[in-house]
Amino acid sequence: MEKEVVIKAENVIKKFGERTILNGISLEVYRGDTFVIMGGSGCGKSTFLRHITGALKPDSGKIYLLGKDLTRVSDDEMDALKKKIGMCFQSAALFDSMTVGENVSLPLREHTKLERGVIDIVVKMKLELVGLRGFEDLMPSQLSGGMRKRVGLARAIAMDPEIVFYDEPTAGLDPIVAGVIDKLILDLSKKLSITSIVVTHDMKSVFSIADRVAMLYEGKVLEVGTSDEIKRSNNPSVQQFISGSPDGPIRFFQQKDDYLEHLIR
């Protein structure tokens, strides 16, 4: 059966000032897949995520989200698309002055005509899914980092999105909590048939959750394929990244000019 493409990037180029951050990215994400974007710090992962969620526009190239060309959608179409996607930010991005329940219910209160009692039940259902039922009345400051991430996840799925984007969902968490988050991402994808796009450089996460993986390097897709294809890749840069070795073709520092030149300039 032909797989349905829900995200398609075609030769996406983005410059910030003189620096080319995305240098011709093309890839496709299939419905229901967990698609992992990996790559070194600063290679443009978050920037690319912001393009495929419509927050940034490319200088050139095309991005299709659920069949709509993001470089030409109207504001109304963009609003409709936003209701079909959920975002989980690196920092969880909870509102500290709101309770857990209010954080999760925010999208429903803002974007729907559902009555209070119904919204409260949706909140309980979503908190149950992330293992935080009964925490509605706590404030974010009373939660651990891992719990905050889970609240962020409950909020991201409040509107039953078709696609959920995660930026570094396990960064800064201990390996066990990271494993819990990974399992949650997988469970939600399979149970609710959500398409998940996950940016991470946690190699353990990559291979435990990914159906397909894209590795970015210097603004380009170095390799894209299934988890197994990436694991077996002959590309020395991919292997260097997987093994976390400091020596190899990937340069970890990307200065623009010579150090001594810079000092005496």
Ligand X SMILES: Nc1ncnc2c1ncn2[C@@H]1O[C@H](COP(=O)(O)OP(=O)(O)OP(=O)(O)O)[C@@H](O)[C@H]1O
Q: Which residues bind ligand X (CB under 6 A)?
A: 16, 21, 39, 41-47
The most distant pair of C-alpha atoms in the chain lies apart, rounded to whole Å, by 67
Cα-based distances in Å from 45 to 106, 198, 218: 27, 10, 10
Nearer to another protein, 5 or 80 (CB): 80
Question: Is 56 a residue that touches Mg ion (CB under 5 A)?
Answer: no
Residue 231 contact among ligand X, another protein, Mg ion, none, beta carbon within 5 to 8 Å by kind: none
Nearest Cα neighbor of 189 from 116, 89, 260, 86 is 86
Nearer to another protein, 19 or 190 (CB): 190
Structural element, H or E, at residue 154? helix 145-156
Q: How far is the CB of 41 from ligand X (least distance, A)?
A: 3
Q: Contacts with another protein in 189-208 (CB under 8 A)? A: 191-192
Q: How far is the CB of 119 from another protein (least distance, A)?
A: 7
Q: How far is the CB of 160 from another protein (least distance, A)?
A: 5
Nearest Cα neighbor of 13 from 53, 55, 63, 54 is 63
Q: Which stretch binds Mg ion (CB under 5 A): 41-49, 67-75, 107-115, 146-154?
A: 41-49
Q: Which stretch binds another protein (CB under 8 A): 43-51, 71-79, 106-114, 229-237?
A: 106-114
Q: How far is the CB of 47 from ligand X (least distance, A)?
A: 3
Q: How far is the CB of 120 from another protein (least distance, A)?
A: 8
The upper half-sphere exposure of residue 135, i.e. CA atoms within 13 Å in the direction of its Cβ, equals: 22
Cα-based distances in Å from 3 to 76, 129, 181, 201, 233: 28, 27, 27, 27, 24
**20, 23, 26, 46: which one binds Mg ion (CB under 5 A):** 46
Question: Is 118 a residue that touches another protein (CB under 8 A)?
Answer: yes
CA distance 225 to 211: 9
- The CA-based angle 42-258-245, given to 5 degrees, is 45
CA distance 204 to 192: 24
Binding site residues, Mg ion, CB under 5 A: 46
Binding site residues, another protein, CB under 8 A: 83, 108, 111-115, 117-119, 121-122, 125-126, 128, 158-160, 191-192
